[in-house]
Amino acid sequence: MATASPSVFLLMVNGQVESAQFPEYDDLYCKYCFVYGQDWAPTAGLEEGISQITSKSQDVRQALVWNFPIDVTFKSTNPYGWPQIVLSVYGPDVFGNDVVRGYGAVHVPFSPGRHKRTIPMFVPESTSKLQKFTSLCLVASSDLQAAPPTGDKW
């Protein structure tokens, strides 16, 4: 069944940002968004969201649970630029300002079915000791201006 013209296919993503493990931080919320190539476009659902703020459970698990729904459908003609979900986690610092606690990204799974993904998160580190010290005092920490684009890393 070879077709000469490009054919459109749909990708439906349902799921949730379930929980996180951050041993050092508490009272966190997360933002998700999708990054995709030029041939892709969302047709239904929300492509970004902000979760509630959650605190660590008191038991030994120390889990931060969001249970935050993800529901989006993409349409495309080309697998190149397959969508990635980009997660940013924020929490308060000593002075109560919102500071980034982690960024992470993963490709949306390629095969139909149920998948569980654990995403490692990282935070940009200050390059000099002086900047580390001033970032403790000032509001702005070393933050990324926009969500990391596909294929580029700092």
Partner 1 sequence: MAEVHVIGQIMGASGFSESSLFCKWGIHTGAAWKLLSGVREGQTQVDTPQIGDMAYWSHPIDLHFATKGLQGWPRLHFQVWSQDSFGRCQLAGYGFCHVPSSPGTHQLACPTWRPLGSWREQLARAFVGGGPQLLHGDTIYSGADRYRLHTAAGGTVHLEISLLLRNFDRYGVEC
In the complex, the residues that contact partner 1 under the rule CB under 8 A are 2, 23-24, 37, 78-82, 84, 104-107, 109-111, 119-120, 122, 125, 150-151, 153-154
Cβ nearer to partner 1, comparing 96 with 151: 151
For 40, the token pair is 């892709």
Helix, strand or coil, per DSSP, at residue 60: coil
For residue 43, the surrounding DSSP H or E stretch is strand 40-45
CB of 147 to partner 1, least distance (A): 13
CB of 35 to partner 1, least distance (A): 9
Backbone torsions φ then ψ of 26, nearest 5 degrees: -140, 170
CB of 145 to partner 1, least distance (A): 16
CB 101 within 8 A of CB 53: no
Cβ nearer to partner 1, comparing 95 with 122: 122
CB of 1 to partner 1, least distance (A): 11
CB of 127 to partner 1, least distance (A): 8
Cross-strand partners of 33: 48, 86
Cβ nearer to partner 1, comparing 73 with 150: 150
**Residues 23, 11: Cα–Cα separation, whole Å:** 35
Cβ nearer to partner 1, comparing 4 with 96: 4
Cβ nearer to partner 1, comparing 61 with 107: 107
DSSP string, 65-118: EEEEEEEEEEEES-STT--EEEEEEEEE-TTS-EEEEEEEEEEPPSSSS-----
